[in-house]
Amino acid sequence: MRANASPTADAEHDISDAWLLSGAVRYDNYDDFGGTAYFKLASSFRATDRGSLRGAASTGFGAPSMQQQYFNNISTQFVTDDSGGLTAQERDTFRNDSAVAKAIGIPKLKEEESVNLSFGVVLEPVDALSIPK
């Protein structure tokens, strides 16, 4: 089982009648992995009565999955050899923090981090135009 606490704070402010600025911060803390903070900054500017510009920049975080961290498996597979006979071969999958993984130099898993940028244009070319989702 995994527990995760994720306090979040966000705020918006109208800089003017046409310009909205927003920001957010979130901290994810996984009991089995650790944590990190990440951020988002977004803005929307109403350029005309029928059009706006929007943009955002944010960071992201993802802890390794439970399967990536804790999966172990040992199986026997029967493989056809060059003479047409069957040979039993053992296949092992070891969890990342096992003695075997450490002995062959596999490093500790790291979180996935991302940087995201987006930009968009919002248009209302004619009155009462609606495009459903």
Please give the backbone phi and psi of residue 68, each rounded to the nearest 5 degrees, phi first: -65, -35
- Per-residue pLDDT reduced to its tens digit, 42-52: 999 999 988 99
**CB count in 10 Å sphere of residue 28:** 20
Burial class (CB in 10 A: 0-12, 13-18, 19+), 95: middle
Q: Which residue has the tokens 């995760």?
A: 4
Domain-wise residue ranges, the chain: 1-63+111-125, 65-109
Structure tokens at 35: 């944590």
Over residues 23-71, the pLDDT tens digits come to 999 999 888 888 889 999 999 999 998 899 999 999 998 888 888 888 8
Instruction: State what percent of residues in the chain have pLDDT above 70.
Output: 99
Tell me, what's the pLDDT at 26?
94
